[in-house]
Amino acid sequence: MSTNSHADNTGSKNPQADNQVLDKGGAVREGEELDAQAVSEWLRSQGIDIQGEPTVTQFSGGASNWTYRLQYDNEEKSQDLILRRPPKGTKAKSAHDMVREYTVQKALKDAYPYVPKMIALCTDEDVIGADFYIMERMEGIIPRANLPKGVDLDKEQTRALCTNVIDALIELHQVDYEQHPDLMNLGRGEGYCVRQISGWDKRYVKAKTPNVPSFALVRQWLNKHTPADSKTCVIHNDWRFDNVILEASEPTKVIGVLDWEMATLGDPLMDLGSALAYWIEEDDNIIMQQSRRQPTHLEGMMTREEVVDYYLEKTGLEVDNWTFYEVFGLFRLAGIVQQIYYRYYNKQTTNPAFKNFWIIVHALHAKCLKLIAQYEGEALFTSRVQPHLQDAGIDAATIEQLPSPVQSVIKSILPKSYFAQTTNNAEK
């Protein structure tokens, strides 16, 4: 299913879509400077024909890998390139794998039209201090927390955008990876669900700081309810609106997909669950609203439930316990956020955007517990599930240390019985 085939889903041409709405870089952040001369010299050593030195800007989107725009402009030749590299002080190199990101895009290019053209991959850390790769820039709109000024979609166009983004994910899940050797080597495939639960369990524990919950009950519940894989396919593993590029003159049409470093062979339902962890609706709590990274709050967007129904109808997949995938997505996101916050907590980065990430971890924990309680039933959750939370007192204590307004939000999300129960356990 190609998004290009949805002619009736792309909306009318938007006369306001001009150079002002295109995604652009800004000033390079302090401490994240790029040695552009070293990059240029390396590119020339690889036989890449570039002239002069580039103008360097940095994209503000994303909370993980650093992305720079290199504009080589002169009379003889102009080139517009993108450089991607991991951040300094990286704790989990597997979460910032430039080699994987480069390889999967190069391998996918013929089968999946939404990846940029790869230029070169550098694994010599002596060049700029880390692996990096260069690709051609795809010019377009990136829908971040809000659509850029000048892109005004009505309810029907917003629904078309939503549908096209989901269709692009479905199309990825239908790629015949067995026809591409480099895609075959992306991952082990079968057993993906079990490996993911085990892997994120360990990663969260390793990145935990004293001011966040343990997720002990959530981790136990996920381990108990892990299903067999629904199927194996290429999955993106970081699917969000701010990882897609839209046509500037037709801003409901997907023309590109970015950020492939976590792509692998795995279960598509796990990919969908991970994607929906970022899907903030208009009536979600204020913490999630303030951390929103995509415009899924707009009128016309599908709800999370509608997305699942649409995906299952289009793919023919069936699911017995969707709560598992939803809780996994939220726990995985908590792990990602916590890994980033760990770097800030340990002064490996000074980016002020990461200062309050620990509060987001609390909100995600509360959402997981609420979903588990809804699945188990409030009485069963209280009498059989919750007593097995060995460190309930620790989790309750961390909630008590939150700022008062944040406490109110967290307690409003938690199952009604949770906080009173854990407080009693802590007192005992």
Gyration radius of the chain over CA positions: 22
| CA 133 to each of CA 93, 120, 136: distance values in angstroms, whole numbers, following the listed order | 15, 6, 10
Residue 398 reports pLDDT greater than 60 = yes
Range among 22-36, 51-65, 76-90 rated most confident: 22-36
Q: Which residue has the higher pLDDT, 348 or 427?
A: 348
The pair of three-digit structure tokens given for residue 283, joined into one six-digit string: 């009536």
pLDDT band at 6 (very low <50, low <70, confident <90, very high): very low
Highest mean pLDDT of the ranges 40-54, 56-70, 380-394: 40-54
The percent of residues in the chain predicted with pLDDT above 70, rounded, is 88
**What is the band of 96 on the pLDDT scale with cuts at 50, 70, 90?**
confident
Kindly tell me if the per-residue pLDDT of 88 is higher than 70: yes
For position 12, what pLDDT does the model report? 40
Spatial CB neighbours of 149, under 8 Å, sequence gap ≥ 6: 20, 21
Separation between Cα atoms, residue 204 and residue 368, nearest integer Å: 15
pLDDT above 60: residue 15: no
pTM above 0.85, yes or no: yes
Lookup result for tokens 């700029």:
128
What digits encode the pLDDT tens for the residues 379-389?
777 776 666 65
Question: Among residues 88, 173, 92, 163, which one has the least CA distance to residue 132?
Answer: 88
Helix (H, G, I), strand (E, B) or coil at 378: helix
pLDDT at 57 over 80: yes
Confidence of residue 69 (pLDDT cuts 50, 70, 90): very high
Count CB-CB contacts under 10 A for residue 347: 8
CB hemisphere CA count around 52 (13 angstroms):
14
The pLDDT score that the predictor gives to residue 17 is: 42
Q: What is the pLDDT of residue 18?
A: 54
pLDDT at residue 11, as a whole number:
42
Q: What is the pLDDT of residue 386?
A: 67
Most confident option among 93-107, 205-219, 390-404: 205-219
